[in-house]
Structure 1
C-alpha cells in the first residue's frame, strides 16, 4: 500500500469488510489497519461501528475461534492463549468464554500426546535434564504448570 494513498470512508469500509470476512479479527487489528490507511479517529470509529453492526467484527467470535485454532493447530495451552488474547485487548469475559471452547478430555489428551512426542525428540540422557527440557517446552507452549509437572513426573522416570 502506498503511503500517500487516501481512502474515502466508503472505500475504507468496503476494504475492511473484506479483511474481516477473510478471517475473524479483533478490534485492535482493525484500528491498526485503519490507522495504517491514514484514517482519522472519527472515521475509524465510524467504520468500526459499521463492522460491528453488520457482524463483520465480533470480539467474542474472534476470541472463540482464536482459542480453538491455537489449541487445535499449534497445541497451545490455556496460559499462552490467555496471554495472547490479553495482548489483543480482549475483555476478560470474552477470554473466559473462549476458554470454554477447549475444555474437557481433548485438552488433557493433547497435552499427553504433545509431551510424549516431545520426549521422543529429547536426546538428553540425564533424567533431571530431560524433565527440565520437557517441562520448559510445555510451559513455553502455555500449559498450566501443575499439569506440566504432573505429566513430566509421569513420563520421565
Structure 2
C-alpha cells in the first residue's frame, strides 16, 4: 500500500466539506470517503455531525436531487430509483419525499418516448421476441410492471411494435 500521510481532523473536515460542496452526497458516501482517508470512527462521527450541522450533508436534499437526476438524465423508473436509494441507506420517508419530485405527466411521457424509441430499434424479430426484449429493457430501467405491460399493449394496437 502506498504511503499516505494521516489527515488531521481539521484537514479532513476541509477536504470533506469540498467533497460535499461539489455535489449532493449521502451519509454512506461520506463515511466511505472518510474511511478511505484512514480516519478513526470517533473522528468520522464528529465530522459527519459537523457536516450535518453546517448543512453540507442533508439526506432529504440528496434523495430529491438523486431522484430528479436519474429520472431526467438516465430515464430511470421509480423502482430503479427506490432500489438505488435503498442501497445508499436512505430512509423510507426520504425515498417517498424524493419520488414526489417526479411529475406524473412527465413520468408517463418519458415512458411513452422511451418505449417507442426502443421498439423502433428492435428489428427483424418476431412480435413475441420484440415484446420480451422491450419489457426486459423497461423493467431493467425500473419502470413498474403494470405500466410496462400496458405500454406494450398500447404499442401493439398502434402498430409501433
Q: Fold-level match, TM-score > 0.5?
A: yes
8 Å CA contact 1:75, 1:110 repeated in 2 = yes
- Cα separation, 1, equivalents of 2:129 and 2:53: 54
- Cα separation, 1, equivalents of 2:51 and 2:123: 51
**Structure 2 unaligned runs (5+)?**
none
Cα deviation for residue 123 of structure 1 reads: 1.1
Greater shift after overlay, 115-124 or 62-71? 115-124
1:43-101 residue CA offsets vs partner (Å, 9 max, x unmatched): 00000000000000000000000000000000000000000000000000000000000
**Structure 1 unaligned runs (5+)?**
none
Q: Which residue number in structure 2 is paired with residue 134 of structure 1?
A: 134
Query: With structure 2 as the length reference, what TM-score do the two structures score?
Result: 0.94
- Whether 1:41 and 2:41 are equivalent positions in the alignment is yes
Task: Give the secondary-structure state (helix, strand or coil) at the position aligned to 1:138.
Answer: helix
Deviation above 3 Å: which 4+ runs of structure 1?
A: none
Equivalenced residue count is 157
Q: Which residue number in structure 2 is paired with residue 155 of structure 1?
A: 155
8 Å CA contact 1:64, 1:101 repeated in 2 = yes
Task: Give the secondary-structure state (helix, strand or coil) at the position aligned to 1:102.
Answer: coil
Task: Give the secondary-structure state (helix, strand or coil) at the position aligned to 1:46.
Answer: helix
Q: Which residue number in structure 2 is paired with residue 105 of structure 1?
A: 105
- 1:60-71 to structure 2, matched below 5 A, reads 60-71=60-71
- 1:48-87 to structure 2, matched below 5 A, reads 48-87=48-87
RMSD (Å), alpha carbons:
1.3
Q: Which residue number in structure 2 is paired with residue 17 of structure 1?
A: 17
